[in-house]
Chains A and B, each alone.
Chain A
Amino acid sequence: MAIDSGTWINVGFYIYVSIAFAILALGFNLQWGYTGLFNAGIAGFFLIGAYTAAFAITPPTPPSIGYPGHLGGFSLPLPVGAVLAMVASGAVAALVALPTVRLRADYLAIATLAFAEVLRIFAINLESITAGTIGIPGLPAPVEFNPPDAFLNATVKVAVSAALILVLLLVLYFMAESPWGRVLRAIREDEEATMALGKNTFQYKLQAFALGGALMGLAGWLFVITLNYIEPTGSSAATTLGFAPAVTFSVWVMVIVGGAGNLRGSVVGAFVIYGFQWLSVQLKDLAPTELKEGIPYLRLMIVGVLLIVLIIYRPEGILRERKRVLR
């Protein structure tokens, strides 16, 4: 059976972008679903990972007329870029966590949102480092085919992403269902009671937040090697592919849909929510002309409605968290 090359490239795009979102969702689930830390700055950690990877793996592009230049260009191998992205995001997350995890949930949300926005302002304006809104060119794909073959390219990207998410799920499952993960869940349930049981909750919250941040950085790496472009504003204010707050809010929906504390649920949630957005783009041509321009906005409005409906009626998610029966 021959798959039409164009369709495969399209579907492949859907798959590997969903996986990038799934990794973001896993990171947020670790922070909020397991530990109760409501991070409203997901886009910020995503941005750090993406730019760190970009600096690391691209060839140098010196400044010239009309191009401000950017930091790095070390042409490092892709896996090194991944590690660096995780380390950078994780370290920044730890720093951000130090003063904020002790705060009430809403303060944490405001502080992290502010953090992400400040980061975005820097990314847009520090042109000599990030090349501003023009973006960094030359982002390499996992395998460069010669002559360039979009079909094979898509296949490789899907394979890399799929392998990555499988490994991540295994590792995270191991960590989250361990005694360590149990302490995190206890903190989410009742932090005072957990302290009274002899746990240093501050340390656990710090670890969960930093690890979640590292995962978001990894998602950033995957994003740039599959999409092969990076720039800080996204193609429009309504986009969810970028580093604007809309990304953060979309990830919230994915984790709420998938269920807090449910790792597989986060992946499913990502595929569902992004799937809906991807579908709306695909079906755009079928829509009546009056609706056509409104589609990106309608999408986000539906995300908004979902958030409201879910949080009122099904806050624990559509996929439930399982009861842990210990033997």
Chain B
Amino acid sequence: MAVIFLTFLAGLAALFGISILQYTLAGFRLSSIVIVAAIGLTVIYGIRGFANFAYGDLMTLGAYVALFVNMNLALSLIWGAIVSFLALAVVGILLEVLIFSRLEGRGPVPPIVASVGVGLIIQNGINWGGTTQQWIFRIPAVTEIPIVPGIGFHWIRDFGTFVVGIVFVVSVHILLTYTNLGKAMRATADNLELAKATGINTKRVTYAAWALSCSFASTAGILLGLIGVLSPTMGFNVILLIFAAVIVGGIGSPYGAVLGGLVIGLSQEMSVPLLIWLERPDVLHLEHSTAYKVAIPFIVMIGVLIFRPWGIAGRPPAFARRVFFMERLTQVLGRRGDATEPVQGEGGG
């Protein structure tokens, strides 16, 4: 695996010049954050069946809790991360108990509306707390390690993010494959009724899922704060990226979340050289072209929604009525004028 990876990097460098590695690095770093966040989001999506629009704001909350510990309690960020992890786990369980358990069985829209409400409360609560200024975490000063002229490797920002990402992915894998709780979670996500019928305590599984989801959100938020600054809208700004990763990877699948996160992170950052090229006067003269890099993952997501809505790791649904755009298009294009003529090829086999 590592060999393939390094060859890939070397190939890129050969083709586009060494500076492309800078973007690849940024891409992997973003991917690490998105992966951690996406795993948390997809777990709730799979078990509770809805898109948690408050997730970005939960990430923000996690970052601010850690900030509070870091600044006001003058403790190292590691402590901040631990406190935040636990605090958000509690928040997640509270959300389920107070709000989302009452919306069970009402379809996908009511929980979305409620989660938007939760997000508004969190985001504006933080805003109101007087922290409209931007903050940075206090971390030990570290000089960057130059790999090649112009590309630096920051111990905490880059290496730390990768390591955290990998640790979390491995932990989730161990949880889901080897622990009873993990297996129960997979069963519940697959088929709630069946899980209940086989005696699984789905209530406990749901609480565990919420705790995991929000704790992961807190860590992702902290990582996000590490590579930039903290602001009250930092989480909301990236929530669509996280959704994109979850959709591309397949809803409910943590492994899909890893793949989706990679796709999203890399596509966003590695589109920058392309966009810079587009800014040149002799090409498109597109001003502020790099600002569009955030739109690239959305375009990928929309493409996935059109052609393969169940994502990389998901399964296509059984019902013909959920015929997605392409099938409808083929039908329209292949339509005969007279319905009584025998059909050739289409549909029947």
Contact = CB atoms under 8 A, between A and B. Distances in A.
A–B contact at 8 Å CB threshold (below): yes
Interface in B96-154: 99, 102-103, 106-110, 112-114, 116-121, 123-125, 127-128, 130
A249 B110 contact: no
Contact of B305 (A107, A195, A252): A107
Interface stretch (A43-51, A142-150, A279-287, A293-301): A293-301
B224 interface: no
A304 B128 contact: no
Nearest to B127: A297
A55 interface: no
Interface in A106-121: 106-107, 109-111, 113-115, 117-118, 121
A173 to B, nearest CB: 25
Contacts of B119: 304
A311 interface: yes
B40 interface: no
B51 A301 contact: no
Nearest to B289: A125
A301 B305 contact: no
Interface in A89-136: 98-100, 102-107, 109-111, 113-115, 117-118, 121-122, 124-128
B325 A98 contact: yes
Nearest to A119: B295
Contact of A305 (B51, B112, B117, B127): B117
Contacts of A308: 99, 113-114, 117-118
B305 A297 contact: no
B108 A104 contact: yes
A109 B239 CA distance: 13
A122 B289 CA distance: 10
B109 A105 contact: yes
Contact of A237 (B113, B233, B321, B324): B233
B328 A38 contact: no
B324 A125 contact: no
B113 A252 contact: yes
Nearest to B317: A104
Given A107-B309, A202-B328, A312-B114, A114 B302 contact: yes
Interface residues of B, number: 51
B262 interface: no
Interface string A298-322: 1011011111100110010000000
B305 A102 contact: no
Interface stretch (B61-69, B240-248, B266-274): B240-248
B247 A110 contact: yes
Contacts of B155: none
Given A107-B309, A311-B110, A312-B102, A102 B322 contact: yes
Given A102-B323, A111-B302, A121 B295 contact: yes
A235 to B, nearest CB: 14
B78 interface: no
B292 interface: yes
Interface string B320-334: 011111001000000
Nearest to B125: A301
Given A105-B107, A128-B287, A312 B294 contact: no
Given A103-B309, A118-B298, A315-B110, A306 B127 contact: no
B277 interface: no
B301 interface: yes
B291 interface: yes
A238 interface: yes
A192 interface: yes
Contacts of B106: 315
A256 interface: yes
Given A117-B298, A121-B295, A38 B121 contact: no
Interface in B27-77: 50-51
A110 B110 CA distance: 14
Contact of B114 (A109, A114, A311): A311
A110 B322 CA distance: 17
A298 B124 contact: yes
A124 to B, nearest CB: 8
A121 B99 contact: no
B95 to A, nearest CB: 10
B233 A109 contact: no
Given A38-B112, A308-B99, A311-B114, A301 B128 contact: yes
Residue in B51, B110, B322, B323 with the greatest tally of chain A CB atoms within 10 Å? B51
A195 B99 CA distance: 34
Contacts of B240: 110, 113-114, 117
B103 A300 contact: no
Interface in B237-268: 240, 243-244, 247
Contacts of B299: 118
The 10 closest A-B pairs by CB, nearest first: A304-B120, A307-B117, A297-B124, A308-B117, A297-B128, A304-B117, A304-B121, A99-B325, A294-B128, A106-B108
13 contacts: A99-B305, A102-B328, A106-B112, A109-B109, A110-B301, A111-B302, A118-B298, A125-B292, A202-B328, A237-B232, A246-B120, A252-B116, A307-B117
Interface of A: 38, 98-100, 102-107, 109-111, 113-115, 117-118, 121-122, 124-128, 191-192, 195, 202, 237-238, 245-246, 249, 252, 256, 293-294, 297-298, 300-301, 303-308, 311-312, 315
